[in-house]
Amino acid sequence: MKNYKHLFFDLDGTLWDLRLNTRVTLEQLFEKYHTQLNDIHFDHFFARYHHHNDHVWALYRDGKMDKETLRYVRFERAMHDVGIDADQQFVRSFSEDFMDICPKQPHTLEGAHDVLDYCSGKYQMHIITNGFIEVQGHKMNAAKLNGYFEHVINSEHCGVRKPHAGIFEYAMKMSGATPQESLMIGDDWVADIIGARDYGMDQAFLTTTEDLLNEMQIGEGHHPLRHNYKPTYTISSLTELKKYL
Ligand SMILES: [Mg+2]
């Protein structure tokens, strides 16, 4: 086992339960807009939202879509798919409400606080996130994740997103860490795992998000994702990290 000094955590889907917080928010919005959404099956909408959200996030990560467009089109496309005849104003209001409510949701991944408490004092801990700078602080407040981390590195600080080497380099500079003494913990295969690997950091791949995606894929008759690289550690829950730290 390596002696790490620095742990770098992803935020969304790794500590902050993006999926559950999204679900809770959308359920609230379905109530608020029940006249417009009356005939829509929530789970169908939720699945289509995830499909489009993942797609536009990949474009955003690669610099092929700006965040204003991302925030709008994920809902526009999901509404279209489930047969809501939405005008621009409705999509815009829905999207703005979502951005207002979702970051204030408190749910964390199972074991998040337990692992952070366990690691606290043993390691220097930091966040590296591609999430929007204006909402990541709200999420950390709502989920009581403040206080554990020395540096919260946001891609908007340095102009490039994970998996780009530039953000890992920026993180090293900010924290005074070296890649050799650092571990990246994240749920996104490309952004967190391949990004950290290519930068020379060890990686812990939290598979919860991918497991859910695979369940959906299989449900739709597609094959589960396969990877031709083995991360340093693969964990199906955050508490498993304790075995390695
Ligand atoms: Mg993530």
The answer to whether the CB of 191 falls within 8 A of the CB of 130 is yes
Question: Do 30 and 57 lie in a common domain?
Answer: yes
Ligand 1 centroid vs 38 CA: distance in angstroms?
A: 32
Ligand 1 centroid vs 34 CA: distance in angstroms?
A: 31
Ligand 1 centroid vs 13 CA: distance in angstroms?
A: 4
Question: Do 67 and 96 lie in a common domain?
Answer: yes
Ligand 1 centroid vs 39 CA: distance in angstroms?
A: 32
Q: What is the DSSP string of 12-63?
A: BTTTB-HHHHHHHHHHHHHHHTHHHHTT--HHHHHHHHHHHHHHHHHHHHTT
Question: Do 30 and 114 lie in a common domain?
Answer: no
Question: Do 222 and 118 lie in a common domain?
Answer: yes
pLDDT per residue over 172-227, tens digit each? 999 999 999 999 999 999 999 999 999 999 999 999 999 988 887 787 788 888 89
How far CA 105 is from CA of 37, 42, 113, 239, in Å, comes to 22, 19, 16, 22
Question: Do 133 and 146 lie in a common domain?
Answer: yes
Ligand 1 centroid vs 14 CA: distance in angstroms?
A: 5
Ligand 1 centroid vs 211 CA: distance in angstroms?
A: 13
Question: Do 220 and 201 lie in a common domain?
Answer: yes
The answer to whether the CB of 184 falls within 8 A of the CB of 197 is no
Ligand 1 centroid vs 64 CA: distance in angstroms?
A: 19
Domain boundary among 82, 104, 126: 104
Ligand 1 centroid vs 32 CA: distance in angstroms?
A: 28
pLDDT band at 1 (very low <50, low <70, confident <90, very high): low
d(CA 76, CA 119): 41
Question: Do 97 and 170 lie in a common domain?
Answer: no
- The CATH number that applies at residue 231 is 3.40.50.1000
Please report the pLDDT score of residue 224 as a whole number: 85
Question: Do 100 and 139 lie in a common domain?
Answer: no
Please report the pLDDT score of residue 39 as a whole number: 86
Question: Do 45 and 116 lie in a common domain?
Answer: no
Domain housing 66: 18-104
Q: How many structural domains comprise the chain?
A: 2
Question: Do 36 and 117 lie in a common domain?
Answer: no
Ligand 1 centroid vs 3 CA: distance in angstroms?
A: 25
Indicate whether 137 belongs to any domain: yes
Indicate whether 1 belongs to any domain: no
pLDDT per residue over 6-27, tens digit each? 999 999 999 999 999 999 999 9
Please report the pLDDT score of residue 168 as a whole number: 98
Ligand 1 centroid vs 193 CA: distance in angstroms?
A: 10
Domain boundary among 104, 134, 151: 104
Ligand 1 centroid vs 87 CA: distance in angstroms?
A: 31
Question: Do 81 and 149 lie in a common domain?
Answer: no
pTM for the whole structure: 0.94
Ligand 1 centroid vs 194 CA: distance in angstroms?
A: 13
Domain boundary among 104, 138, 154: 104
Kindly state the tokens that stand for 127: 């966040």
d(CA 231, CA 139): 28
